[in-house]
Structure 1
Amino acid sequence: MGRIIKLLDKSLKRFTVYAGIVLACSIPVYYFAISELWQYELDEHNIMLTPEAGREDSFLIIGAVTLLTVFFFALILGGFVWLNRKISRRLWSPFYQTLEQIKAFDLNDQKTIEFVKSNILEFEELNSSINKLVNSNVAVFRQQKEFTENASHELQTPLAIVQSKLDLLLQDPSITLSQSSIIEDTNNALSRVSRINKNLLVLAKIENQQFLDQQVIDISEILQEMLDLLSGLFEEKVIKCTIHPKIVVNGNKILVEIMLTNLLMNALRHAAVNEEIEILLSDKELIISNSGTYALDPEKLFSRFSTASIHTPGSGLGLAIVKEICNRYGWTVRYDFKETKHIFTVTFIR
């Protein structure tokens, strides 16, 4: 893609180039026409000049006419450019006002835009069309937000009830071993549905900008807290941890905790027993790696409902949530597979 320029500057540049070409082509035409006219006047009045005097007079007259032509041409061109900019600035003022309002528009505020009235038909039609589009998007956004939140909240209660009933049923001494196995499988599937529902609610809240509060966070302290909380789950793993102290970032503490938990749980889920999990937190990035046998697809890895492995299925939303959180704060998250290791790297852009 080439250099982006303003529409008015582009047309003005083309006009200037065209005017320069016309001026350059007109000079030899002037020279030829005046030379013929000068020679005609000399012949008509039977005036004889020496070749040297004729050349001097010709060059003098042609030079004077050329300079005057260039002067008036430049004067006209400069006046045209000045008038064009002045008129265009006034003419395009409603467009730039509309553009500034669109740039400042935030869908999360759910406020309509009040455009400045214009006496130019095209701009009025543009503002009317944008208004309809904005109002439609605000309405759809509000409905989607309410539906997602309500659906997630309403699902949690029946899911919790069903799980509690299944737990009670498992404690019944009259059930058989096969029935117990079926109930346990059902309970596990239900737990997965519950996790998916909670993760979808988190994603909806992130996308709906419901975690607006930001503060300076000591991410090294939070990471250490997460490791302490998950220490029981990491007992069968070899943890190689390097955390630089006092690493701070700007963000929402809840979102940062969710990001760290999902990355740690992802490494925990896919690392085999007694295998090493490496954690490195520096001023610029967080790296979490675990052993693996084959590379994963980085294009699908951060997509929703895309599981990293069929042998250790999760909700398929953990890494998608990590991606959304990183996007929110301008961070980058990437996946690499090197030396039989899955490596997830979060780079903090300050």
Structure 2
Amino acid sequence: MNKLLNKSLRRFTVYAGFVLACSIPVYYIAISKLWQYELDEHNIILTPEAGREDTFLFIGAITLLTVFFFVLILGGFVLLNRKISRRLWQPFYQTLEKIKSFDLNSNTTVKFEPGNIIEFEELNASINKLLERNIATFRQQKEFTENASHELQTPLAIVQSKMDLLLQDGALTSAQSQIIEETNNALSRVSRINKNLLLLAKIENQQFLEKQQVNMSEPLQEILDLLSGLLEDRSIESNISPNCIVEGNRILVEVMLTNLLMNSLRHTESGIKIELSLSPVELVISNPGNYPLDGSKLFRRFSAASSQTPGSGLGLSIVKEICSRYNWDVGYSFADGRHVFSIRF
């Protein structure tokens, strides 16, 4: 029984109980007067004891009959109401289930089953129009992001190569070299953002269709070996179980692991140890911190995890997108002065 009907039934039951409580004394007074009228009409005189017995008998009989018919009517009403409500509200709950299961990234539309209730048909038609507009807008945004990122790759690469050639010019002054170097760094950041946007678009468009068994232990160890040169005076204490098999695309798995590790390195100060553990069911990466990150913005695009160590704002968004693709649970917590990122497979 749904909440709305439960609320209505409770109100009806309270109202019916109130009517029952009020009806018993009314019935008693009416029948008592009728009984007294019959006694007077036939000149019958009862003793006080007999009058009290009749009074209790009247009250008991009236109460039992009233309660019996009340329960009978109420029970019939509840059963009839349940039967009618199931048929009446079934299209509504079917629509609700379809809306709950709808995913904007799935590239599928919602098809509502036709019914014979005009109000629900109008509701389904309105929801269909709203979803169609949202799907069209979402697709346009995805296409724009993918096309823009793809078209920007070539000019960005040309500009960056020209800047590199310009830096090699011996006639440049130190001030000019510094300006060119800063410009080149900004271009590198724009290039990384562009590549990440293109990667996100490909993931959302399901262009990584290959799905196979991936031994996550191997690419994780390879990435740790490659990042060893970036650690400087930092260190990673790893506990990697062998043969941690997951279902996914190896390229995406490597991207996810790299982004998580780079995020931990970016938020780890010199002389600090990063802890990493991998089991067949979970990956956990933790590093010390002074204050928790904003969990509500952590996995959003272009939302830096921390204002003190800003990145491109897309690394954790890519991690979230990859985990969503394979139904993995990614989470963040801050406990005992440590940032903890976890992924459950």
Mapped pair 1:322 → 2:290: no
Q: 1:52 to 1:327 in 2, by over 3 A?
A: farther
SS of equivalent residue, structure 1 residue 346: strand
Amino acid at match of 1:336: F
Q: TM-score, normalised by structure 1?
A: 0.82
- Any conservation in 1 of the 2:294–2:305 contact (CA below 8 Å)? no
Deviation of the 1:143 alpha carbon: 0.8
2:23 to 18, 22, 26: 26
> Partners in 2 of 1:28 and 1:201 — Cα distance?
80
The equivalent position to 1:343 in structure 2, one of 303, 317, 339, is 339
CA shift for structure 1 position 334:
1.8
Which consecutive unaligned segments of at least 5 residues does structure 1 have?
Answer: none
Which secondary structure does the structure 1 equivalent of 2:228 belong to?
A: coil
Contact 2:104 2:135 in 1 (8 A): yes
Judge conservation of contact 2:115–2:121 (CA < 8 Å) in 1: yes
Deviations 1:302-350 (A, max 9, x none): 44434456675432322343345456635242243745xx5233152x6
| One-letter amino acid of the structure 1 residue matched with residue 22 of structure 2 | C
The aligned length equals: 343
Give the corresponding residue for 1:153: 150
**Contact 2:287–2:340, Cα closer than 8 Å, also in 1:** no
The Cα shift of 1:113 comes to: 3.8
8 Å Cα contact 1:152-1:198 kept in structure 2: yes
Q: Does the alignment pair 1:276 with 2:273? A: yes
Unaligned runs of 5+ in 2: none
Cα pair 1:211 1:252 within 8 Å, conserved: yes
Tell me, in whole angstroms, the C-alpha distance in 2 between the residues paired with 1:141 and 1:210.
17
Q: 1:331 aligns with which of 322, 329, 332?
A: 329
Quick one: which amino acid aligns to residue 9 of structure 1?
A: N
CA contact (8 A) 1:326 1:333 kept: no
- Distance of aligned partners of 1:35 and 1:287 in 2 relative to their CA distance in 1, 3 Å threshold: same
For residue 142 of structure 1, what is the amino acid of its counterpart? R
Match of 1:16 in 2: 13
Matched residues in 2 for 1:252 and 1:286: separation? 17
Identity of aligned residues (%): 69
Take 2:306 and 2:67, find their aligned partners in 1: how far apart are those partners? 76
Maintained 8 Å contact 1:159/1:194: yes
Q: Tell me, in whole angstroms, the C-alpha distance in 2 between the residues paired with 1:213 and 1:64.
A: 79
Q: Equivalent residue for 2:137?
A: 140
CA contact (8 A) 1:301 1:307 kept: yes
TM-score (norm 2): 0.83
Aligned to 1:230: 227
Aligned partner of 2:183 in structure 1 is 186
SS at match of 1:241: strand
Q: How does 1:252-291 map to 2 (within 5 A)?
A: 252-282=249-279, 285-290=282-287
SS at match of 1:280: strand
| Contact 1:296 1:308 survives alignment (8 Å) | no
Q: Map 1:1-350; keep pairs closer than 5 Å.
A: 5-206=2-203, 217-234=214-231, 236-249=233-246, 252-282=249-279, 285-290=282-287, 294-295=290-291, 297-299=293-295, 301-307=298-304, 313-326=310-323, 329=327, 331-336=329-334, 338=336, 342-348=338-344
TM-aligned CA distance change 1:157 to 1:121, over 3 Å:
same
Amino acid at match of 1:331: D
Amino acid at match of 1:58: T
CA distance in 2, matches of 1:259, 1:279: 14
Whole-angstrom distance in 1 between the partners of 2:47 and 2:215: 95
Distance 1:98 1:334 in 2: 34
